[in-house]
Amino acid sequence: MDIGKIQKNLKSKLFSENLLIYNSVESTNKTAKENSHLPEGTVFIANAQTAGRGRMQREWRSEENSGIYMSILIKPQIEAENIPCLTLLAGLAVCSALTKAGIPDVGIKWPNDIVADGKKVSGILSELSGTNTVVIGIGINVSNKSFPDEISDKATSLALLSNKPFEREPIIAMVLDEFEGYYNLFLKDGFSGIKDEYEKNCITVGKACRIITPKDEYDAEATGIGENGELEILRNGQVEKIASGEVSVRGILGYI
Ligand code: BTN
């Protein structure tokens, strides 16, 4: 990982000063939480993670040099209830960056899986680290040529999607630039500042889906995105809103 190459491609001010590169860490989210006294805009990037984590206690495969594993430290002065919106914001930033990098048909599977060609290419794990301090972990599969059998029908990488090799540094710079743009809109106008853009890119909206919560599992139709990033669904003729957290949404016929 070449820090100079990230900086050369980066327009963002917020993220230009504090890029920290590690060869291997357990999890960049863990490193970021342990260093949450550092200034807003510090970014922790690793070549490999030995205990990369996904949402709902899942593992995040993090082999050396094959993906982007990074965590962004931000300290927004916002109400606690608006913090989940930052995860959606990060998903939107990754979606825009990958689109700008030339990956076709990238979309967001609510709340924050980034998908292309019907498979997941990136995931986000946000964690609170004290009051108004949020760690946003972003994983992007970059040069993986294959995935283990149990996820091969659900996971993809930039290399598989485009049949060409990708450098991680310009992608990191693009994600940080996009994040800063949407973050400024969010700080100014809240989630409504990015809601339309999020909804436009959200492939879950308009689809029949299976909602899986720790207590319950049912079918519904996703009809839109709410003012605070909730998924609006139609269930047995009633409109309901579901917040992210421990909820998983699947397509009726598969992952998407
Ligand atoms: C998911 O889709 O389940 C979220 C995956 C998040 C993975 C990233 S990689 C960088 C950061 N460190 C971690 O341990 N997890 C996040």
Q: How confident is the model at residue 39 (pLDDT cuts 50, 70, 90)?
A: very high
- Rounded to an integer, the average pLDDT of 44-56 is 94
Whether the per-residue pLDDT at 246 is higher than 80: the answer is: no
Whether the per-residue pLDDT at 120 is higher than 80: the answer is: yes
Pocket flag, ligand 1, residue 56 (CB < 6 Å):
no
Q: How far is the CA of 218 from the centre of ligand 1 (A)?
A: 27
Which percentage of the chain shows pLDDT scores above 70? 97
What per-residue confidence (pLDDT) applies to 81?
79
What per-residue confidence (pLDDT) applies to 215?
85
Whether the per-residue pLDDT at 251 is higher than 90: the answer is: no
Substitution candidate for ligand 1 out of 22, 43, 69 with most atoms within 8 A of CB: 69
What per-residue confidence (pLDDT) applies to 248?
76
Whether the per-residue pLDDT at 181 is higher than 80: the answer is: yes
Pocket flag, ligand 1, residue 29 (CB < 6 Å):
yes
Whether the per-residue pLDDT at 253 is higher than 70: the answer is: no
**Full-model pTM:** 0.94
- Rounded to an integer, the average pLDDT of 43-51 is 97
What per-residue confidence (pLDDT) applies to 83?
82
**CB contact set of 31 (below 8 Å; sequence gap of 6+):** 22, 25, 44, 46, 71
Instruction: Choose the weakest-confidence range: 69-78, 195-204, 246-255.
Output: 246-255
Q: How far is the CA of 191 from the centre of ligand 1 (A)?
A: 23
Q: How far is the CA of 33 from the centre of ligand 1 (A)?
A: 14
C-alpha 26/C-alpha 240 separation (Å) is: 39
Give the CA-trace dihedral at 11, 12, 18, 22, to 10 degrees: -70
Per-residue CA distances from 87 to 8, 134, 138, 209 (Å):
26, 10, 10, 21
| CA dihedral over 27, 23, 18, 190, signed as positive or negative | negative
| Mean pLDDT over the full length of the chain | 92
Higher pLDDT, 150 or 25: 25
What per-residue confidence (pLDDT) applies to 11?
94
Instruction: Choose the weakest-confidence range: 52-61, 87-96, 216-225, 246-255.
Output: 246-255
- Rounded to an integer, the average pLDDT of 7-11 is 94
C-alpha 41/C-alpha 4 separation (Å) is: 17
Q: Which atom of ligand 1 is nearest to the CA of 29?
A: 12
| Range 142-147 contact pairs with CB under 8 angstroms and sequence separation of 24 or more | 142/66, 142/67, 142/68, 142/166, 142/168, 142/171, 143/65, 143/66, 143/67, 144/63, 144/66, 144/67, 147/61
Whether the per-residue pLDDT at 256 is higher than 70: the answer is: no
